Amino acid sequence: MWYLYIIRCRDGTLYTGIAMDVARRLAAHRAGKGAKYLRGRGPLTLVYQTRIGGRALALKTERRVKALPKTKKEQLVAKRLSIATLLPETK
């Protein structure tokens, strides 16, 4: 099972990623491993996570969330926007 997560950096920026184990991935980010974007931007705070499903769906959803303007990502974090509206249609 894959999860989509959003991390807030010290400077207020939001980083979106996917992982099977969000706690382990967050620990890796905090240790300076993984995404270069997050290095030196700590403290890092996990502000959102949701179960997505399979890897392919998680990747597509991650791409859609990353393309959102920050205001929409903030709505997602505040649960004023449903992740279901961002999921790709399945056929």
Q: What is the pTM of this model?
A: 0.90
d(CA 52, CA 61): 8
CATH 1.10.3210.10 corresponds to the domain 2-85? no
Structural domain boundaries of the chain? 2-85
pLDDT at residue number 24: 97
Sheet holding 14-19, edge to edge: 14-19, 2-8, 45-53
**Residue whose token pair is 């997050």:** 38
pLDDT at residue number 88: 67
The residue ranges of DSSP E strands in the chain, in sequence order, are: 2-8, 14-19, 45-53
Tally of CB atoms within 10 A around 77: 14
pLDDT at residue number 34: 82
**Residue ranges in the chain modelled with pLDDT below 70:** 88-91
